[in-house]
Structure 1
Amino acid sequence: MLLQTVTPVSVLGTIVLFALFLSVTAHLAARNVLGDVDPRRALYVGPLPAVIGVVGGAFGLPEALIVAAALLVDAAMFAWSYDQPRRLVVGMTVIHAVITTLLGIVLLGIAVLLAARPG
């Protein structure tokens, strides 16, 4: 059994990569709802939900609580970053959750296939 140690650098790296992934999917969601938008605005959306996910998972909090908190913060960051009415913010948040889930499943599937290849 391989024993892995958790270091502050590995935690920070996980948060940064997850925040970038969430920022990319947030930009896709915003483009879907609003049309042509500045991609830099999406960089404000990703970090806080990423921190909630990683820290909540590290403390062993219930997944339903982590997802609910991340979605609420996600909506708040969309509202703050894009300054849109509540109805559009809800749409962006739902689309962001769907895109993130689908793209995450596809990337995980690719990783599993690559890890299972012979040789």
Structure 2
Amino acid sequence: MDALTLQTAASGAPVTAVAGTFALFALFLSLTAHIAARNVLGDVEVKKAFAVGPVPAAIAVVFTTFGWNSFLALLLAVVLDFVLVRYLYGQATRLSAYIVLIHFVVTIILGTIVFGLLVLLSSAPV
């Protein structure tokens, strides 16, 4: 079964399911982008992170929906994340690459924790 079939079966409306998935993932990636930028640069504007988050989320949703290569999606998301961080925060190449690395690590760590908590809560007895 592909992702679109599973989402349709779960919610009944594939457009709503894909839009909801995109919105939640974009919000999550915006949060982790802000954490990464704040960790490296100090006090930064939150609105810049809200411009960074939706791009990798859109790439992930499109590549997953059409079943395209996930490694290519990851590479494209990291490259575009770097371009956006460099442009929005106006930092040097090395510092922008460091922010993107921290963003990647924070996303993996926080995603693992949130997913683990969701699995734990869903398996709890009623």
Same fold (TM over 0.5): yes
Please state which structure has a larger fraction of its residues in helix.
Answer: 2
Match of 1:50 among 43, 57, 61: 57
Q: Confirm or deny that 1:116 pairs with 2:120.
A: no
Q: What root-mean-square deviation, in Å, do the aligned CA atoms of Structure 1 and Structure 2 show?
A: 1.3
Q: Confirm or deny that 1:76 pairs with 2:106.
A: no
For structure 2, the 5+ residue unaligned runs are 1-5
The count of residues paired between Structure 1 and Structure 2 equals 118
Alpha-carbon shift at residue 6 of structure 1 (Å): 4.7
Alpha-carbon shift at residue 87 of structure 1 (Å): 0.6
Find the aligned partners of 1:34 and 1:96 in 2 and give their Cα distance: 12
Q: Confirm or deny that 1:23 pairs with 2:30.
A: yes
Encode CA deviations 1:80-102: one digit per residue, 9 max, x unaligned: 11111101110000000000000
Alpha-carbon shift at residue 11 of structure 1 (Å): 1.0
Match of 1:95 among 75, 92, 102: 102
Match of 1:86 among 87, 93, 97: 93
Secondary structure of 2:101's match? helix
Encode CA deviations 1:13-40: one digit per residue, 9 max, x unaligned: 1111111110110000001111111111
TM-score normalised by the chain length of structure 2: 0.89
What letter matches 1:45 in structure 2?
Answer: V
